[in-house]
Copies of this chain bind each other. A is one copy, B any other.
Amino acid sequence: MKAKVTVTLKSGVLDPQGRAIEGALKSLGWKGVKGVRVGKSIELEVDEKDPQSAKAVVEKMCEKLLANPVTEKYQIEIITDR
């Protein structure tokens, strides 16, 4: 079963990469852009048959490896039909 994990920085955490992109977009002429935050998107396939257990497995992966629970939060999406 396929899953998509989005790992983003928690709201209080400074995001220099986001700042840099925001600055670059502004200098390209998009003056109204704001709140740029950059995160990671991880797609993977796990060996589980049903969505619930797949989500549980991916959640453990996030806790152990994919995200840093001190500074990052994550969101898991299970893709059922493809």
Residue numbers of A with Cβ under 8 A of B are 2, 6-8, 18, 21-22, 24-25, 28, 30-48, 57, 61, 64-66
Contact = CB atoms under 8 A, between A and B. Distances in A.
B8 A61 contact: no
Contact of A21 (B21, B42, B48): B42
Given A28-B65, A64-B28, A42 B38 contact: yes
A44 B39 contact: no
A59 to B, nearest CB: 12
Given A28-B64, A30-B61, A40 B37 contact: no
A71 B37 CA distance: 22
Contact of A43 (B2, B30, B39, B64): B39
